[in-house]
Amino acid sequence: MSKNLLSLSDYLGYPTGNQLEEQVATYAKIRKVKYSTRLYTKLFLDEYFETKKIFENNYDEINTILMEDSFKIQEQENQDRIF
């Protein structure tokens, strides 16, 4: 194995499942990152997990904001109605 490439399990320090392997491979294709079968650069894996963390951490916050906005819109629509 090349010194510059790591397997996902070596990077994380534990065995990984097929789902995570597929997600990382898909992200590598999107980013057009050259990799060997299941071997990536540390820099790329750092980027992948940092990006994943951003989306996971903000998911609940984004959903909360969207839900609050939808309630505000609904309240405004109800106030605009003439009964």
**Domain annotation covers residue 76:** yes
Q: Domain containing 24: what range?
A: 6-80
- What's the mean pLDDT in 12-41? 88
**Domain annotation covers residue 56:** yes
Q: What's this model's pTM, rounded to 2 decimal places?
A: 0.55
Domain count, the chain: 1
**Domain annotation covers residue 19:** yes
- Is residue 7 a contact partner of residue 42, using CB atoms and an 8 Å limit? no
Q: What is the pLDDT of residues 33-67, one digit of tens each?
A: 877 778 999 999 999 998 887 777 666 666 676 67
Under DSSP, the state recorded for 14 is S
**Domain annotation covers residue 1:** no
Distance of CA 31 to the CA centre of its chain: 13
**Domain annotation covers residue 10:** yes
